[in-house]
């Protein structure tokens, strides 16, 4: 698999809840797929409830094995599911 990791996706609280995070994630998925990658990895922390909800509702699946000290959750998505 040709994989890429999305890191540091963040929206200030004032603009959350408007669908911007979902829009940005879909645009990233499209751009990543257009460049020949077929898998996306995202690390996050379970305390970031909004991020977890976004990733899970966007088709990312829980993965294991690469958790870090600051990120206790890992998600992966096959780009065949991205569009």
Report pLDDT for 83.
47
pLDDT of residue 82: 44
Q: What's the pLDDT tens digit per position in 43-83?
A: 999 999 999 999 999 999 999 866 677 789 999 999 975 44
What Rg, from alpha-carbon coordinates, does the chain have?
12
Q: With pLDDT > 90 as the criterion, what percentage of the chain qualifies?
A: 80
Task: State the Cα–Cα distance between residues 29 and 37, nearest whole angstrom.
Answer: 9
Instruction: Report which secondary-structure segment, H or E, holds 29.
Output: helix 20-34
Separation of CA 73 from chain center: 11
Q: What tokens appear for 57 in the block?
A: 């509702």
In percent, the amount of the chain with pLDDT more than 70 equals 92
- Please give the domain boundaries of the chain with CATH numbers for all domains: 3-81 (3.40.630.30)
Rounded to the nearest 5°, which phi and psi values hold at 5? -115, 135
- Distance (Å, whole) CA 65 – CA 74: 8
Q: Give this prediction's pTM.
A: 0.86
């Amino acid at each position: 698999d040709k994989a890429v990791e999305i890191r540091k996706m963040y929206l200030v609280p004032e603009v959350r809840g408007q669908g911007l995070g979902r829009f940005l994630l879909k645009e990233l998925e499209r751009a990543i797929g257009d460049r020949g990658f077929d898998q996306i990895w995202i690390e996050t922390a379970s305390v970031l409830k909004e991020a977890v909800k976004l990733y899970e509702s966007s088709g990312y699946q829980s993965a294991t094995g690469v958790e870090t000290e600051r990120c206790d959750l890992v998600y992966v998505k096959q780009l065949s599911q991205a569009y």
